[in-house]
Amino acid sequence: MLRKSIEDLALETAKKYGHPRVQARHVVHAIAKLTEFRQLVEILRARAPKLLEPRGDAMTTAGPDEEAERLLAQCSTPLGAVNCAVEWLLAQGEPAADKSAQTKPGRTAPQAAQLAKETPEAVLADLDKLIGLTPVKKQLREVLAVVVANAKRREAGLPEVSNSLHLVFSGSPGTGKTTVARIVARLYAACGALKGSKFLEVHRSGLVGEYVGQTAPKTQAAIDAARPGVLFIDEAYSLVSEHGNDYGHEAVSTLVKSMEDHRSELAVIVAGYSEEMAHFVDMNPGLRSRFKTFIEFPDYSPSELTAVFSIFAQESKVNLAEGVLPRVEEVIAAASRSADFGNARFARSLWERAFANMAVRAHADGQVDLHEVTELLPTDIPSYTPPSAVEDEGRIGFRS
């Protein structure tokens, strides 16, 4: 996870320099070390070492202070991390010019930051790389078309028409809702609908407090951390109960107000099972008036999930022997008939179990050769165990 890596390196750096607390400067330095964003990262790297002086003499180092936590909350994606680091540098009052990024004298960091801005076409290209999701891709293009059309009307002094950036993603687990939500954040920023592409994923625990007076500040903190960008709330219906005897309704009220107050800085995407999401939106008139676009994520077909499995193997540089993919599709087809099928999550679990089987096979004689752990065989693909058999035998869903 990018944020965890940045936080760990920031702590390591603070300790190395004898500083008593992890501060924003340590986070910025870690971002410069861990991200790869061409010219813009060079700006960070040129400035980052100077931020760490002077050295301290602290024997122990505490965790992130408030400002460092604020930066870390924006580090869910490489682009978000770089953007927040540059914003912090600029706030220090020192232009961070980078000669390697200049095309003419006088370019400063605000101009160089434009290098980080993606084009809508580039973001859509990444969307198109995702396996399946054809209706989702089509509907997102419609959303983009409306956003762009309204931007043009706004420039001409004309009224906007049904221009809400807030979305409802509904569907089964493992159908790509979080992945697509991250792309939407980039897409909104690329077309100018939002001023930034931050992305913050939260669940009920990230918004609702345990005691009176905790929920509104906690929800507001999450909203502020997501701006400018997307706040993604998974299983959003868990925020409230029909009995109304918890603090979830306070979180929803705070959220609804911010959705109106920060229209140019915040888009909220809520996600979960289809029926539950429809009920959730209907529970609050404020939600009904703001969530106008529902995007249904279909289950993947066995052939699509087989392609996902193949991508996992490619990314791990593991070859698939003849007969592996038909075997994978057969197992996925059997599992897909289960009511609690996990879609892409199942494909990942299947891949990880197959890799483990390959490793066990390779180690069977006590000596592992490279060729034995770089090619998956059909016999490495575990059989699917139905849920009833899993319960009876204490297994986790596969037979080796």
Task: Categorize the per-residue pLDDT at 36 as very low, low, confident or very high, splitting at 50, 70 and 90.
Answer: low
Residue 232 and residue 104 share a domain: no
- Given 94, 115, 136, which residue is the final one in a domain? 115
Q: List, for residues 255-309, the tens digit of each pLDDT value.
A: 998 888 888 889 999 999 989 999 889 888 888 888 989 999 999 999 999 999 9
| Domains: count for the chain | 3
Residue 52 and residue 126 share a domain: no
Q: List, for residues 58-102, the tens digit of each pLDDT value.
A: 777 888 888 888 888 888 777 778 778 877 876 765 443 333 333
Task: Categorize the per-residue pLDDT at 105 as very low, low, confident or very high, splitting at 50, 70 and 90.
Answer: very low
| Cα–Cα dist 49/66, whole Å | 22
Owning domain of residue 199: 120-297
What CATH number did the domain enclosing 309 receive? Answer: 1.10.8.60
Residue 387 and residue 324 share a domain: yes
Coarse DSSP helix, strand, coil percentages of the chain, rounded to the nearest 5 percent:
55, 10, 35
Q: Identify the CA nearest to 380 among candidates 342, 336, 327.
A: 327
Q: Which is it for the CA torsion 60, 32, 109, 127, positive or negative?
A: negative
What CATH number did the domain enclosing 253 receive? Answer: 3.40.50.300
Residue 80 and residue 143 share a domain: no
- Given 115, 147, 182, which residue is the final one in a domain? 115
Burial bucket for residue 112 (CB in 10 Å: 0-12, 13-18, 19+):
buried
Residue 319 and residue 279 share a domain: no
| Cα–Cα dist 335/337, whole Å | 5
- pLDDT surpassing 80 at residue 154: yes
Task: Categorize the per-residue pLDDT at 248 as very low, low, confident or very high, splitting at 50, 70 and 90.
Answer: confident
Residue 73 and residue 130 share a domain: no
Residue 243 and residue 349 share a domain: no
- Given 297, 312, 336, which residue is the final one in a domain? 297
- pLDDT surpassing 70 at residue 104: no
Contact 88, 6 (CB under 8 A): no
pLDDT at 39: 52
Give the whole-number percent of the chain exceeding pLDDT 70. Answer: 84
pLDDT at 82: 79
Report pTM: 0.68
Q: List, for residues 339-352, the tens digit of each pLDDT value.
A: 788 899 999 999 99
Residue 290 and residue 211 share a domain: yes
Residue 345 and residue 285 share a domain: no
| pLDDT, averaged across the chain | 82
Task: Categorize the per-residue pLDDT at 127 as very low, low, confident or very high, splitting at 50, 70 and 90.
Answer: very high
Lowest mean pLDDT among 97-101, 245-249, 266-270, 365-369: 97-101
Residue 240 and residue 150 share a domain: yes
Task: Categorize the per-residue pLDDT at 376 as very low, low, confident or very high, splitting at 50, 70 and 90.
Answer: very high
Residue 306 and residue 293 share a domain: no
Residue 275 and residue 153 share a domain: yes
Task: Categorize the per-residue pLDDT at 378 as very low, low, confident or very high, splitting at 50, 70 and 90.
Answer: very high
